[in-house]
Amino acid sequence: MPLLFSYGTLRDPAVQKATFGRTLAGRADRLVGFRLEMLEIADAEVVALSGESHHPILVTGSPDDTVDGSVFELTDEELRRADEYEVDDYRRVEAALASGGVAWAYVAR
């Protein structure tokens, strides 16, 4: 099953239920080599679902930078739904986890 690292609104149980039809069980981890900035969201549906007009977004940082978040196991269909949820300012990449291994993460385009 694909692993998804989430550091923002996809950790919200209400967003998970609306996006995946279920609440996800995850584990805490950190992403290495990135830092967070804030992005103003123009998509009214995403703002209504998350309740937030600004969402965090990962940008490339130094090798010492880390971002705290959660790792979720998703089905391929759920990963496709996550792609649909994220606005065009994000792209999905594989990124290194502090615990070892890699997970998909949404980063700045």
Domain regions of the chain by residue span: 3-108
Tokens of 83: 């792609």
- State which fold the 3-108 domain adopts: Hypothetical upf0131 protein ytfp (3.10.490)
Convert the pLDDT of each residue in 25-79 to its tens digit: 999 999 999 999 988 988 888 889 888 888 889 999 899 999 999 999 999 999 9
pLDDT in tens, 78-87: 999 999 998 8
Q: What is the pLDDT of residue 47?
A: 86
